[in-house]
Structure 1
Amino acid sequence: MSVYILVVDDEPDVEELFRQQFRRDLKSGRFTMEFAPSAPAALIRAAEIRDPSLILILSDINMPGMSGLDMLPKVRAERPDVPVIMITAYGDADTRRKAIEGGAVGLLTKPIDFVLLRHEIDVRLGQPA
């Protein structure tokens, strides 16, 4: 069974950055990362991965059309079993509050601390960090 992490961001360079940071994990098959360029695309993909192999959704907040905060309650309703971590360039208290109230398990600020993110993924995989 493949374990999926769904990354939602409208900026094309984000996929390359994540693939570079998690190169060893992806090459070894430890998990698979999928990338959605928008919140609506992410909602479709989250609904398609029906089994428990989807273990984490990482979503940017500021995207054109539907924002990550707008997507959050929809994806939590559809997939309450999947934790969501929001990513933002603005880690202010109001944004953090909105994300947590919307059902996010955490908020990462850009530039992303990949050591912290790797720890979160290890926790989701049930492995000691």
Structure 2
Amino acid sequence: MSVLVLVVDDEPDVEALFRQQFRHDLRAQRFVMDFAISAADALSRIARPIEQTLILILSDINMPGMTGLEMLPKVRELRPEVPIIMITAYGDPETKRTAIEGGAIGLLTKPINFTLLREEIDRRLAQVR
């Protein structure tokens, strides 16, 4: 079974960073990573059937147009079973509270701790296998 992690971020260098950090996992086909450049792009992708099993959504909070926090309830409606982790440069308690209340399972601050993120992905992989 092919599993998918969707990363939502408007910054163009994020895809290269994530692909570099998870290159061994991606090469070994442990999971697939897909990238959406906006909340609207992410919503359109998850609203339609996906070949892979979507196990995790990672979303930046501050994006033009719809923010990650505004996207949260819409994702919860479309895919209530998929966990969402928000990513922000500002890890203040109010932002974390808002993200958790909106349905996120966690909040990562930039620069991202990829060791922690890898552990979370490993937990999600163990649940689907």
Is TM > 0.5 for Structure 1 vs Structure 2?
Answer: yes
Q: Does 1:29 align with 2:29?
A: yes
Aligned-pair distance for 1:107? 0.3
What SS class does the counterpart of residue 64 from structure 2 fall into? coil
TM-score (norm 1): 0.95
Change in CA separation of 1:124 and 1:67 when aligned onto 2, cut-off 3 Å: same
- What do you get for the CA RMSD once the two structures are aligned? 1.3
Q: 2-side partners of 1:4 and 1:33: how far apart?
A: 6
Aligned-pair distance for 1:7? 0.1
Aligned-pair distance for 1:46? 1.2
Q: 1-side partners of 2:122 and 2:49: how far apart?
A: 20
Does the 8 Å CA contact 2:61/2:69 hold for their aligned counterparts?
yes
Q: Mind listing any 5+ residue stretches in structure 2 that lack a counterpart?
A: none
CA deviations on 1:79-105 (whole Å, 9 max, x unpaired) are 001000000000000000000000000
Runs of 4+ deviating beyond 4 Å: none
Does the 8 Å CA contact 2:9/2:60 hold for their aligned counterparts?
yes
Q: Does 1:117 align with 2:117?
A: yes
Q: 1-side partners of 2:52 and 2:22: how far apart?
A: 21
Q: Does 1:97 align with 2:86?
A: no
Match of 1:72 in 2: 72
Q: 2-side partners of 1:52 and 1:83: how far apart?
A: 15
Percent of residue pairs bearing the same amino acid type: 72
Aligned-pair distance for 1:49? 3.8
Q: Which amino acid aligns with 1:44?
A: S
Q: 1-side partners of 2:52 and 2:76: how far apart?
A: 14
Change in CA separation of 1:51 and 1:102 when aligned onto 2, cut-off 3 Å: farther
Aligned-pair distance for 1:33? 0.1
CA deviations on 1:37-84 (whole Å, 9 max, x unpaired) are 000000011122457700000000000000000000000111001000
What SS class does the counterpart of residue 87 from structure 1 fall into? strand
Aligned residues: 127
